[in-house]
């Protein structure tokens, strides 16, 4: 295992620990996803052009004014990352710098203040140090980490807020998708247009996906497979994850044009695929426009071997079915590429497989 170590504190964090942990009441063998929250949360307010002294306090309700501008004008962004239990029981993080960079990319797009590296990393470290007993064993799950920031000006009118709150909380989770995913490609709705906020992890992107997702669910699918907003032809992503297709001996994934989220798992998968083409019997790994008609064509020809999604929550999620224009493409249960990727990536993330990229970080 190769692990980078980050340590040394440069900021003061006020810590108010819980009087009694709730952990003993939790059935860690059945945590589901996103419903159980660990004991503490990290909170830092921004006002007068600077971040104030952060605090770690018991996880719980926060005071909220009905005129908070995030609720009205949508300045709200978030990240998703995970802590894994290392071989020695200590927390391992996967490429946390990438989440910090993406959070600040989202912040700048949504006209919000950037978060200093030390504030993000030391907040994360201190919080997980306190709640590391909440990291499930590797066969049960991981600790999902949700950094997020929202606007707090009490003000009615469209302008950027002057005050913000940055919070990190965590939850023990198991699979986001229990079964292979069924997606519906639709020409009727779009997730993001060029020049919009598609490559920011902005709360509003997810809100806009809910109604089309509801329609997809009512037809027996799990989510929408988004197509580009101009031609309604080129595949973008799925909203909960980026997507990859195995066609013949090539893996193809949509090239970012500003409308899809730059996934950390996506980037890692691209690297793993490129470096292991021979082992996997692949001829090429291609980042390019992928039309839904090309996928339909490959399916008809029998060359669409696999499709899968990638994401922090979704991990490597096999796609079982893609619906488009009234027909279903049912994919094979044989999934050699995504099965290999899942094992390789999870092995690296949990410190069981050598990490040649220095992706895994121990604080």
Which residues make up the interface to ligand COI (CB under 6 A)? Answer: 80, 240, 311-314
Residue with Cβ nearer ligand COI (38 or 247)? 38
Smallest distance from the beta carbon of 332 to ligand COI, in angstroms?
25
Cα distance from N-terminal residue to C-terminal residue, the chain? 15
Which of these, 296, 298, 248, 253, lies nearest to 273 by C-alpha position?
A: 253
298: β partners: none
Would you call 15 helix, strand, or coil by DSSP?
strand
Q: Helix 264-275 crosses helix 336-349 at what angle (to 10 degrees)?
A: 110
Residue with Cβ nearer ligand COI (107 or 314)? 314
Would you call 6 helix, strand, or coil by DSSP?
coil
Smallest distance from the beta carbon of 293 to ligand COI, in angstroms?
27
Smallest distance from the beta carbon of 285 to ligand COI, in angstroms?
22
Can you read off the two tokens belonging to residue 123?
Answer: 């907040």
Residue with Cβ nearer ligand COI (161 or 242)? 242
Smallest distance from the beta carbon of 201 to ligand COI, in angstroms?
7
Contact in structure between 54 and 11 (CB atoms under 8 Å):
yes
Contacts 24+ apart (CB under 8 A), 340-348: 340/276, 340/279, 340/280, 341/269, 341/272, 341/273, 341/308, 341/316, 342/315, 342/316, 344/272, 344/276, 345/265, 345/268, 345/269, 345/272, 345/315, 345/316, 346/138, 346/315, 348/94
DSSP state of 237: -
Residue with Cβ nearer ligand COI (298 or 313)? 313
How far is it, in rounded angstroms, from Cα 216 to Cα 224? 6
**Distances from the Cα of 248 to the Cα of 182, 253, 272, 275, 295, angstroms:** 21, 14, 18, 18, 11
Smallest distance from the beta carbon of 239 to ligand COI, in angstroms?
7
43: β partners: 55, 167
Contact in structure between 191 and 237 (CB atoms under 8 Å):
yes
Nearest residue to ligand COI by CB is 80
Smallest distance from the beta carbon of 12 to ligand COI, in angstroms?
29
Smallest distance from the beta carbon of 206 to ligand COI, in angstroms?
7
How far is it, in rounded angstroms, from Cα 292 to Cα 305? 15
Smallest distance from the beta carbon of 80 to ligand COI, in angstroms?
2
Query: How many Cα atoms within 13 Å fall on the side-chain side of residue 84?
Result: 25
Smallest distance from the beta carbon of 28 to ligand COI, in angstroms?
20
């Amino acid at each position: 295992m190769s692990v980078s170590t980050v340590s040394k504190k440069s900021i003061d964090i006020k810590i108010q620990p819980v009087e009694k942990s709730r952990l003993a009441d939790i059935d860690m063998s059945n945590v589901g996803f996103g419903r159980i929250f660990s004991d503490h949360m990290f909170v830092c307010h921004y006002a007068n052009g600077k971040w104030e002294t952060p605090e770690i306090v018991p996880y719980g309700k926060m005071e909220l004014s009905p005129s908070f501008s995030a609720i009205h004008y949508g300045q709200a962004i978030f990240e998703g990352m995970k802590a894994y239990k290392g071989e020695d029981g200590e927390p391992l993080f996967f490429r946390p710098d990438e989440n910090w960079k993406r959070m600040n990319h989202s912040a700048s797009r949504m006209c919000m203040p950037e978060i200093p590296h030390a504030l993000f990393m030391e907040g994360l470290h201190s919080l997980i140090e306190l709640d590391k007993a909440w990291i499930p064993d590797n066969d049960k799950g991981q600790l999902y980490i949700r950094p997020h920031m929202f606007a707090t000006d009490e003000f009615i009118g469209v302008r950027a807020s002057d005050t913000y709150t940055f919070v990190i909380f965590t939850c023990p989770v198991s699979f986001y998708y229990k079964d292979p995913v069924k997606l519906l490609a639709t020409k009727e709705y779009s997730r993001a247009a060029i020049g919009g906020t598609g490559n920011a992890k902005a709360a509003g992107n997810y809100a806009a996906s809910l109604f089309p997702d509801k329609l997809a669910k009512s037809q027996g699918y799990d989510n929408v497979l988004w197509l580009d907003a101009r031609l309604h032809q080129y595949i973008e992503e799925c909203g909960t994850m980026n997507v990859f297709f195995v066609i013949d001996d090539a893996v193809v994934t949509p090239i970012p044009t500003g409308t899809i989220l730059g996934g950390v798992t996506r980037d890692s998968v691209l690297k793993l695929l490129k470096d292991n083409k021979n082992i996997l019997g692949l001829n090429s790994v291609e980042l390019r426009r992928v039309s839904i008609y090309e996928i339909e064509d490959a399916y008809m020809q029998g060359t669409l071997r696999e499709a899968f999604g990638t994401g922090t929550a979704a991990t490597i999620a096999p796609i079982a079915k893609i619906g488009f224009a009234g027909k279903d493409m049912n994919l094979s249960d044989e999934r050699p590429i995504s099965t290999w990727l899942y094992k390789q990536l999870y092995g690296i993330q949990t410190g069981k497989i050598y990490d040649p990229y220095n992706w895994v970080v121990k604080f």
